[in-house]
């Protein structure tokens, strides 16, 4: 049967899982929160793991893998809340490749792949629009209606903001112009697609980890002379979240495959994946706090890191209602 | 990982689609799109036989037993095209999808030879005698008894909620065959002819006015000892094997029927302008997303090679589709407003969407209620500690 990870994809998932579990544990994430990026982790990800150019074709020095592999890796990064500039990197790589702008590719891609050049990406917008990692990056990718611009970080005014999710801090960006990537909206769309998939997969990983940690707690913690996980109101809540996570996984795989195959359901799949996975993560991260009781409300416990990451993902690149409205347009308007 | 089906599989899809289309616009047009399980039983029996003539009755079975040895992918495709064409629900669902696979797995060669051909040919319709008034979610509490009398089992007791018993020829019965046992011990799995003295079937009227299910009373009904599947006292294993088919493969491919229902909701929303209302657009989008995720979830479940096994995605599938469909029923009624409360004529049952609204309340009950599914997921899937249980 075809709709499962093949052997190589399974291996990539395991490699990524082991890498993040070993290198991106809670203490390191917390340490990185001071400046928003764990640069050593990012370099190791790019170089040792060799995933800096995951989707870069072989003639440009990458392994030429697809969106499925990207999703598999991103899911694992999301599991450990790794403080790395993966989102901007993935979006910028997709935009560069889609633009087919040889000069820009040569100028930026090799250093990006090595983890030396950090890219932040976001929507060009007014006062209320923030770009994650903009205060930490070397290069900015700004997406607009007509197309995408690349801007050297020094050429923009960047105002760092105190951010809810300190593992991916936001900044306000003022940039009048930049180097437009050729191809008009094509690189924009490629960047958004890769970004949306990345966030959906990250949400899936985060949701799975939040569930797993809550299950572990539920088996240990006793009240009324029984593990709290033996109470039905408790276990049924977790069962419901497990059902949602299975659906979220289907959504991510569907979207990733659809992108790789240029499948007709591509747009639908991306909107479904972003809205569904982000909602799932929000719910399970909220439950994680509730189901841990008082300890779940403390700074020391990681629950709030999941809770904050989930909220940030929900807002980025279009919230749930936005993506569902897009689904509605596809199903109700275009077909009419 | 791949989304699409192979060329060979797509060719099989076209072959199925065109045959179903021929049948449903031709000889069987009168039963196309029937939304319930009880209308026109004689015509639907004829439909079972027509499927069999074309070897479409049980395509997943081995060729030797009247099947086509179809792959899982082919079975999904078949089920999708079946529903897409508006072919009616299988009257012999329980024979084809539940008992057949159980006999193939656990039946003796005599049992296979005796019972499988008639299922494949569509001449023996089966029903499922598990639930009792005192044994529903707690199935192991059953009290129907069977005792040996020479070469026969003699059965006393009562089953309830037995779907389609009024149209069926045979029933598989879970009965207690050992005195003094309780719980899962001492149960046996028997194949019983419904057409005999000592069996009375009383229809039960349902929420939607129809009678799909029945009470079945056993008062000295008999079956030969050879009709016991598995060993004496080991009926629990047989019955749970059968349930794993119920919760697994047989629920796949039904998304296409759900597709028809969602399309009807969309059409209604377009007609009355709710398709332009932002709140309804969000809910319709949610329904669409849920349906697609079910499909890809089903494909994942098949791909993990365990088929009907209760693992991973498969474990969550029943609650996924049952909850989705119940929510669709509610959405349908919200879209329709008062139009959903009236039927255009008095003659037949409720129209598709009103019936969906009423009927889908059962989806979260039969085959293990949502609560029981949550217990299964939590305890077997997530490894949470078991709920303390009474005396079992
Ligand atoms: C349309 C329809 C068709 C059916 N067809 C058949 C058929 O063909 N053959 C057959 O054998 N049966 C059939 N059934 C019966 C079905 O399997 C049972 O109704 C079902 O298993 C629930 O059992 P019950 O009705 O006794 O409810 P109960 O088990 O009494 O449950 C009552 C309520 O208590 C809850 N509950 C029970 N135990 C627990 C627990 N441990 N934790 C939390 N909550 C719990 C249930 O979820 C439910 O909400 C059919 C039912 C329906 C509605």
Q: Which residues of A touch B293 (CB under 8 A)?
A: 247, 250-251, 254, 272, 276
pLDDT by residue (tens digit) across B353-364?
Answer: 999 999 999 999
- How many whole angstroms separate alpha carbon A269 and alpha carbon A258? 7
Interface-testing mutation among B10, B282, B295, B296, with chain A (most A C-beta atoms within 10 A): B296
pLDDT of residue B254: 77
- Chain B nearest-CA distance from A58, in A, is 20
Question: Residue A23 pLDDT more than 50?
Answer: yes
Structure confidence at residue B4 as a pLDDT band (50, 70, 90): confident
pTM value is 0.94
Find the mean pLDDT for residues A312-324.
97
Residues linked to residue B171 through DSSP beta bridges, in sequence order: B127, B192
Tell me the H-state helices in chain B. Answer: 7-25, 41-53, 72-84, 93, 100-106, 109-120, 235-247, 255-272, 278-303, 312-336, 352-363, 370-376
Q: Which of B73-87, B259-273, B288-302 has the highest mean pLDDT?
A: B259-273
pLDDT of residue B299: 84
Mean pLDDT computed over every residue of chain B: 92
Distance from CA of residue A170 to its chain's centroid? 14
pLDDT of residue B307: 47
- Whether this model's ipTM surpasses 0.90 comes out as yes
Structure confidence at residue B251 as a pLDDT band (50, 70, 90): low
Residues linked to residue A204 through DSSP beta bridges, in sequence order: none
Could you tell me the strand order of the sheet in which A179-180 lies? A119-123, A139-143, A148-152, A179-180
The residues in B 237-266 lying below 8 A from A, measured between CB atoms, are 266
- How many whole angstroms separate alpha carbon B260 and alpha carbon B256? 6
Which residues, 6+ apart, have CB-to-CB distance to A143 below 8 Å? A95, A121, A122, A123, A124, A188, A191, A192
Which residues, 6+ apart, have CB-to-CB distance to B159 below 8 Å? B129, B130, B131, B132, B144, B171, B173, B215, B216, B218
Interface residue B384 vs chain A (CB under 8 A)? yes
Question: What is the 3 state secondary structure string of A132-176?
Answer: ECCCCCCEEEEECCCCEEEEEHHHCEEEECCCCCCCCCEEEEECC
pLDDT of residue B249: 56
Q: What share of chain A in percent tops pLDDT 90?
A: 90
Contact B300 A253 (CB under 8 A): yes
Angle at A314 between CA A311 and CA A318, to 5 degrees: 145
Question: Residue B162 pLDDT more than 60?
Answer: yes
pLDDT by residue (tens digit) across A183-217?
Answer: 999 999 999 999 999 999 999 999 999 999 999 99
Tell which phi-psi region holds residue B130, choosing left (phi > 0), alpha (psi between -120 and 50) or beta: alpha
Structure confidence at residue B305 as a pLDDT band (50, 70, 90): low
- Backbone phi, then psi, for A174, in 5-degree steps? -115, 115
């Amino acid at each position: 049967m075809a709709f499962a990870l093949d052997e190589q994809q399974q291996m990539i998932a395991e490699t990524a899982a082991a890498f993040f579990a070993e290198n991106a544990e809670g203490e390191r994430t917390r340490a990185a929160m001071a400046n928003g990026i764990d640069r050593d982790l990012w370099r190791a990800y790019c170089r040792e793991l060799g995933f800096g150019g995951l989707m870069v074709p072989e003639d440009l020095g990458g392994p030429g893998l697809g969106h499925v592999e990207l999703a598999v890796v991103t899911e694992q990064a999301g599991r450990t809340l790794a403080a790395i500039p993966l989102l901007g990197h993935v979006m910028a790589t997709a935009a560069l490749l889609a633009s087919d702008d040889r000069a820009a590719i040569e100028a930026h891609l090799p250093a990006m792949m090595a983890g030396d050049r950090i890219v932040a990406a976001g929507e060009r917008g007014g006062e209320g629009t923030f770009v994650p990692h903009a205060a930490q990056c070397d290069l900015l990718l700004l997406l607009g209606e007509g197309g995408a611009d690349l801007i050297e970080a020094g050429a923009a005014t960047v105002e760092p903001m105190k951010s809810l999710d300190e593992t991916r801090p936001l900044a306000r960006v003022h940039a009048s112009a930049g180097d437009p990537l050729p191809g008009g909206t094509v690189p924009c769309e490629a960047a958004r697609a890769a970004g949306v998939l990345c966030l959906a997969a990250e949400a899936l990983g985060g949701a799975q980890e939040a569930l797993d940690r809550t299950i572990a707690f539920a088996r240990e913690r006793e009240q009324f002379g029984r593990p709290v996980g033996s109470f039905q109101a408790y276990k049924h809540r977790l069962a419901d979240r497990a059902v949602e996570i299975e659906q979220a996984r289907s959504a991510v795989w569907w979207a990733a495959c659809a992108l790789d195959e240029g499948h007709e359901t591509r747009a639908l799949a991306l909107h479904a994946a972003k809205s569904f996975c982000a909602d799932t993560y929000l719910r399970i991260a909220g439950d994680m706090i509730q189901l841990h009781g008082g300890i779940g409300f403390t700074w020391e416990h990681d629950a709030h890191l999941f809770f904050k990451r989930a909220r940030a993902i929900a807002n980025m690149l279009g919230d749930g209602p936005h993506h569902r409205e897009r689904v509605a347009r596809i199903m109700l308007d275009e077909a009419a | 990982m791949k989304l699409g089906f192979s060329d060979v599989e797509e060719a099989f899809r076209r072959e199925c689609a065109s045959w179903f289309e021929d049948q449903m616009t031709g000889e069987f047009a009168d039963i196309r799109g029937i939304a319930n399980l009880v209308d026109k039983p004689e015509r639907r029996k004829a439909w079972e036989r027509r499927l069999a003539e074309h070897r479409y009755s049980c395509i997943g079975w081995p060729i030797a037993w009247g099947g086509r040895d179809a792959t899982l992918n082919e079975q999904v495709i078949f089920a999708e095209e079946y529903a897409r064409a508006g072919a009616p629900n299988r009257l012999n669902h329980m024979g084809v999808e539940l008992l057949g696979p159980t006999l193939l797995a656990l039946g003796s060669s005599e049992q296979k030879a005796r019972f499988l051909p008639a299922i494949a040919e569509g001449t023996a319709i089966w029903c499922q005698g598990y639930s009792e008034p005192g044994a529903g979610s707690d199935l192991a509490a059953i009290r129907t008894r069977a005792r040996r009398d020479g070469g026969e089992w003699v059965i006393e007791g009562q089953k309830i909620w037995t779907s389609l018993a009024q149209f069926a020829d045979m029933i598989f019965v879970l009965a207690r065959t050992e005195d003094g046992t309780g719980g899962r011990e001492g149960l046996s799995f028997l194949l019983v002819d419904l057409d005999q003295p000592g069996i009375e079937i009383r229809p039960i009227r349902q929420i939607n006015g129809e009678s799909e299910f029945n009470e079945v009373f056993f008062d000295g009904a008999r079956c030969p000892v050879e009709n016991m599947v598995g060993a004496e006292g080991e009926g629990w294993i047989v019955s749970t094997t059968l349930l794993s088919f119920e919760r697994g493969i047989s629920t796949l491919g039904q998304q296409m029927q759900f597709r028809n229902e969602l399309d009807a909701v969309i059409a209604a929303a377009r007609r009355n302008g709710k398709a332009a209302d932002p709140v309804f657009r969000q809910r319709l989008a949610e329904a669409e997303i849920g349906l697609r995720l079910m499909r890809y979830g089903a494909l994942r479940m098949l791909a993990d090679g365990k088929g009907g096994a209760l693992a991973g995605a498969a474990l969550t599938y029943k609650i996924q589709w049952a909850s989705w469909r119940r929510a669709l029923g509610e959405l349908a009624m919200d879209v329709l407003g008062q139009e959903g409360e009236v039927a255009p004529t008095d003659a037949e049952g409720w129209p598709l969407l009103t019936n969906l609204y009423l009927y889908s309340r059962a989806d979260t009950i039969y085959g293990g209620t949502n609560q029981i599914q949550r217990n299964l997921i939590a305890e077997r899937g997530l490894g949470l500690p078991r709920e303390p249980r009474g005396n079992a």
